[in-house]
Structure 1
Amino acid sequence: MSSANSYIQTVALRDVKCFALHGWYPEEHLTGIYFLVDVVATFVHTGDTENLNHTVNYEVINIIILEEMQNTQKMLETVVKRILDRVIAHYPFVLTAQAGIRKMNPPMPGEVGHSFVQLSYTAPEKKA
């Protein structure tokens, strides 16, 4: 690979379906609801497409999502931050990352398809 070329790779999981007990109201902690979780990470592609150590492993991302979704919180903001913090800690080479959670059919008046919370991360620029 030429040193003049720099490729940015994206690895993502979309619509990871989880049943969880997140919610502000105590009854949400009892009844639960379905959520869809997305995680997207970008990083500089090394050129080695056959080495799992040179990429973000979406199997690991799935485990992080499933574990954090079972850790009941009042606010989805807390859940997306915990997911994002773990992704960044596991893959310190990521340039950007996003975690988003959709709460399907949230319990409120009217017909609401989903509520949505997302958090984004951008790595600080390295000093030369």
Structure 2
Amino acid sequence: MSTAKSYIQTVALKDVKCHAFHGWYPEEQKTGIYFMVDVEVTFVHSGDTENLNHTVNYEVLNTIILEEMSNTQKMLETVVRRILDRIIANYPFVLTARTGIRKMNPPMPGEIGHSFVQLSYTAPEQV
């Protein structure tokens, strides 16, 4: 009987604040609005906790978020997909990944704290 332990590690960035110009309406793309981005990934921990090559580097996650948030799109669905695709390309060993974007105080009638779009990924062998 094996005594090897298998740990699932989570690496995440929460509430990454970005001013960006995403939106369906031309006004949104001119004035911009604040967004909050969350990213969370899980993977099998290698056991080496002091080697950056054996984990998901949250500085890389932050770079991906900032680059994709600066690339104006009409739909947040496109932005979350691009972020998730880049994370999977950089870290093909992830088991799950989730990205969500909140548009703060979206410009529509009523008092709305935020709108929200989220996309999740599960590695094929995990489905």
TM-score by length of structure 1 reads: 0.95
Determine helix, strand or coil for the equivalent of 2:125: coil
Unmatched segments (≥5 aa) in structure 2? none
C-alpha deviation, 1:4, in angstroms:
3.4
Aligned residues: percent identity? 83
**2:93 is the alignment partner of 1:93:** yes
* Counterpart Cα distance in 2 of 1:42 and 1:50: 18
**2:50 is the alignment partner of 1:50:** yes
Unmatched segments (≥5 aa) in structure 1? none
4+ aligned runs moved over 4 Å, structure 1:
none
* Counterpart Cα distance in 1 of 2:29 and 2:79: 14
* Counterpart Cα distance in 2 of 1:3 and 1:112: 52
> How many residue pairs align between the two structures?
125
Determine helix, strand or coil for the equivalent of 1:98: strand
C-alpha deviation, 1:3, in angstroms:
5.3
CA gap 1:3/1:79 in 2 versus in 1, 3 angstroms: farther
TM-score by length of structure 2 reads: 0.96
What is the alpha-carbon root mean square deviation over aligned residues?
A: 1.1
- Matches of residues 3-14 of structure 1 in structure 2 within 5 Å? 4-14=4-14
- Matches of residues 1-128 of structure 1 in structure 2 within 5 Å? 4-125=4-125
